[in-house]
Amino acid sequence: MVHVAEQVVALLQGRLRLWRDAARSILTQAADLQCRSDAELLRQSHQCRWEAKGGTPLATLLPTVYAIAVEASRRVLGMCHYPVQLVGAIAMFNGRIAEMQTGEGKTLTAVPVVALRALPGKGCHVVTANDYLAKRDAEMMGPVYQRLGLTVGCIQPAMSDDERREQYARDVTYMTGAEAGFDFLRDRLRLGVNGDRPRRAYFHASRNQLPVQRGHYFALIDEADGILIDSARTPLIIGMEEPDAPPTIAMYYWAHDAARSLVLSEDFLYEPEKRSVWLSEIGCRRLTLLAKPRQLDTICSERLYDQVERSLLALHGYHRNRDYVVLDDEIRLVSEGSGRQLTGQRWQKGLHQAVEVKEGLPITSENRTSARITVQSYFSKYQYLAGMTGTASQARNELRRYYRVGVSVIPTHRPCIRVGWPTRIFVSQASKRKALVAEVQRLLAAGRAILVGTPSVRASESLGHEFQLAGIPHAILNAIHHEEEAVIVAEAGQPARVTVATNMAGRGTDIILHDDVRQNGGLHVIATEMHSSRRIDRQLVGRAARQGDPGSFQFFLSLEDELLLGFNPPLAGRLQTRARPNEDGELASSWIRVFQRVQRKVERRHVRQRHQIFKSECERVKRFRRAGFDPYLELVD
């Protein structure tokens, strides 16, 4: 076994050496192009495009196209590719996930491989973590591709079908994974249910019925582990809205009132680690005795019990400013991994309505599922798939299993000088907050810029209130204040700047340091809790010490953190009983092992959930195809 591992390591090292030699050769070619005019550069790019469309293998064109892309980037952006960036671009051309440390310039690394894959004219999709990054990167890199004679598009949520069709028709299109997946499902709905009908319907469809997408040739996925792994536990679902009858609306209100009258552990059981609720026999009997409006006489008891369980879940398992925010009198779901709003997504089977009743909002109609697809199924449709991220190694087995892509760890351009400070652990949130405020004040006096990472909107708002009471100027970046994201990120590296952020600041944000901050030690990142995944923690920590800059990070934890309470509340209670803090409420550093153990258990549970979703989807697709139906559409009239 050890011998096999050594062979694999030797193979990977040999591959990296070959790619590094190729990168140096490309940079030499790019230097020779500096004396060429823009017209000559464009003519050479067009020549490569004709050769690609004529059947010349892209691997043959790689050195020339990469050199042209490098020179175009230098002319348009004033940015030169480093050898390690070209190594990453070569790895991605070979269908791999390039693991590049944060701050290594992944956006620029993507340019050569996207330019090469776009040459055949079959469509190249660049998938980003959110709409903000899709628009930002399209605007930033668009002029580079245009210099090469390529057209660039960007998908945004508010676009019409005609606008989307136009954007997808371009050589390079930026979008989020959710937008791409939902567009695929809407195209299937337009073309019909039968398994072979989409191909036939295409030739008889009017313009409004034509699909907006034109195929799945190549996708390059930025923050690949976040999109392919973290988002894979939630399938993409399109619902068909059906007006609820008066008895159904009455059921939502009655179920909410009934749920509030039930007693935990007696009438119902709740498992926070699985976020599941079920009624006990005593609870069912109690519901039977509760008074019901006459409108509910037409609804069977089983459906009533199911809705009561949804209401219990809304009360105990889903919390405002953690799992969702309320904006414009509607529920907006928030992603745990990215901290951003999940535009247009809703909970199913009465849960969304239960949360609306809890928040006193107008009840929206329940959506009947009309089309669905998992993240694994959607991205497996691409003929060629590649990606880049700073945290792929820990997910390499899942990436290989579900998407058949390997991971290549790319060396850094400059040595990383990030410094990790000892983790501080406290018995309560109150003692942790007090110490955290004191630490921020000390760092401000030293002229540092500080990024404070929080796990939820609620936590960021609460911490912001603490800073306000302490007289600490700060900015908050979360799903509520997302409109100011560009301004907040641009100022986060200034002296004496405190930025409180959810995971929105964990991916895709490049915090530029002021010279004074760099001289005083760089950006300091404070993580106020450990997340459910080590990769999310690494993304937050990676905001500091980018591209050889100085920087540091530190974790502030407590026995009342969400990681412990959400996984096992009784365990958290027992730990607090056993704890022996000092007079400031601080515990010994050895308690970190408790958090690490729980985090590993949560990660394993998420792996099992993703595997179960993948397995169920495979069985569902086989079943539908055997019956001759489209596997992504529900059987609707």
**What is the CATH classification number for the domain harbouring 293?**
3.90.1440.10
Q: Say which residue, 617 or 216, is predicted with more confidence.
A: 216
Q: How much is the average pLDDT of 51-71?
A: 96
CA distance 444 to 441: 5
Question: 259 lies in a domain?
Answer: yes
Which of 30-39, 316-325, 569-578 bottoms out in mean pLDDT, i.e. has the lowest?
A: 569-578
Residue 603 in domain: no
d(CA 389, CA 396): 12
Domain that holds residue 310: 245-365
pLDDT for the residue 378: 94
Cβ–Cβ < 8 Å for 333, 342: yes
Residue with tokens 């953190």: 561
Return mean pLDDT, the chain: 89
Same structural domain for residues 145 and 11?
Answer: yes
- In which element (H, E) is residue 450 found? strand 449-453
pLDDT higher than threshold 90 for residue 349: no
Categorize the per-residue pLDDT at 8 as very low, low, confident or very high, splitting at 50, 70 and 90: very low
Q: Is residue 393 in some structural domain?
A: yes
SS (H, E, C) 404-435: CCEEEECCCCCCCCEEECCCEEECCHHHHHHH
Helices and strands: H and E segment counts in the chain:
24, 21
Per-residue pLDDT reduced to its tens digit, 423-454: 999 999 999 999 999 999 999 999 999 999 99
3-state secondary structure of 279: strand
Residue 98: phi and psi, rounded to 5, are -90, 115
pLDDT value of position 11: 52
**439 and 516 share a domain?**
yes
Average pLDDT on 367-373 reads: 83
* C-beta of residue 408 within 8 angstroms of C-beta of residue 275: no
Is 22 buried (19+), middle (13-18) or exposed (0-12) by CB count in 10 A? middle
* 505 and 581 fall within a common domain: yes
The reported pLDDT for the residue numbered 238 is 86
Side-chain-facing half-sphere of 264: CA atoms under 13 Å: 10
* Per-residue pLDDT at 73 exceeds 50: yes
- Residue 269, C-beta contacts closer than 8 angstroms, at least 6 positions apart: 277, 278, 280
Report pLDDT for 208. 61
CATH, residue 151: 3.40.50.300
**What is the distance between the alpha carbons of residues 581 and 216, in angstroms, rounded to a whole number?**
57
The reported pLDDT for the residue numbered 508 is 63
- Report whether pLDDT(181) > 80: yes
For residues 116 and 38, state if they share a domain.
yes
Same domain, 396 and 502: no
pLDDT mean over 413-418: 88
Give how many domains the chain has, as a whole number. Answer: 3
- 396 and 442 co-located in one domain: no
Residues 158, 63 share a domain? yes
DSSP output for 328-355: TTEEEEB-TTT-SB-TT----TTHHHHH
pTM: 0.86
What is the Cβ-side half-sphere exposure of residue 66, based on CA atoms within 13 angstroms? Answer: 30
Segment 527-535 mean pLDDT:
92
List, in order, residues 6 or more apart from 489 with CB less than 8 Å away: 477, 505, 509, 510, 511
The string of pLDDT tens digits covering residues 275-317 is 899 999 999 999 999 988 988 888 888 999 999 999 999 999 9
- Cα separation, 89 vs 63, whole angstroms: 11
Residue 260's contacts (CB-CB under 8 Å, 6 or more residues apart) are 315
The CA distance from 402 to 136, in Å, is 29
Instruction: Name the range with the highest mean pLDDT among 82-86, 339-343, 601-605.
Output: 82-86
Do 34 and 141 belong together in one domain? yes
Section 396-406 average pLDDT: 93
**pLDDT value at residue 207:** 56
What does the angle CA 452 – CA 176 – CA 502 come to, to the nearest 5 degrees?
Answer: 10
- 30: number of Cβ within 10 Å: 23
* pLDDT for 48: 96
Residue 280 · residue 269 · CB < 8 Å: yes
* 404/422 same-domain check: no
Which residues, including other chains, have CB under 8 Å from residue 36's CB and lie 6 or more apart? 44, 71
- Range with top average pLDDT, 10-14, 94-98, 543-547: 94-98
User: Average pLDDT in the 527-553 region?
Assistant: 90
pLDDT band at 626 (very low <50, low <70, confident <90, very high): confident
Taking 50 as the threshold, does the pLDDT of residue 2 lie above it?
no
Give a yes or no: residue 103 inside a domain. Answer: yes
Examine residue 525 and state whether it is found in any structural domain, yes or no: yes
Residue 281 and residue 231 share a domain: no
Pairing outcome for strands 384-389 and 551-558: unpaired
pLDDT at 548 over 50: yes
Q: What is the pLDDT of residue 15?
A: 83
Structural domain includes residue 622: no
Torsion (CA) 386, 392, 396, 401 in degrees, nearest 10: -50
- If you average pLDDT over each of 167-171, 489-493, 600-604, which comes out highest? 167-171
Residue 191 counted as domain residue: yes
Q: Is the pLDDT of residue 163 over 80?
A: yes
Q: What are phi and psi of 284, to 5 degrees?
A: -65, -40
Check if the beta carbon of residue 497 is closer than 8 Å to that of residue 428.
Answer: no
| Residue 629 domain flag | no
Residue 261 confidence class, pLDDT cut points 50, 70, 90: very high
Looking at the structure, tell me whether residues 393 and 445 fall in a common domain.
Answer: no
Percent above pLDDT 70 for the chain? 93
So what's the pLDDT on residue 7?
45
Say if residue 385 is in the same domain as residue 492.
no
Task: Show which of 569, 587, 605 is a domain's final residue.
Answer: 587
Segment 86-123, tens digit of pLDDT: 999 999 999 999 999 887 889 999 999 999 999 999 99
Q: How confident is the model at residue 360 (pLDDT cuts 50, 70, 90)?
A: very high
Question: What proportion of the chain, given as a percentage, has pLDDT over 90?
Answer: 60
Query: Average pLDDT of 148-176?
Result: 95
* E strand intervals along 34-77: none
Q: And the tokens for 260?
A: 């509030």
- Residue 28 corresponds to which amino acid? T
Residues 367-391 have a mean pLDDT of 90
pLDDT at residue 595 is higher than 60: yes
pLDDT value at 6 more than 70? no
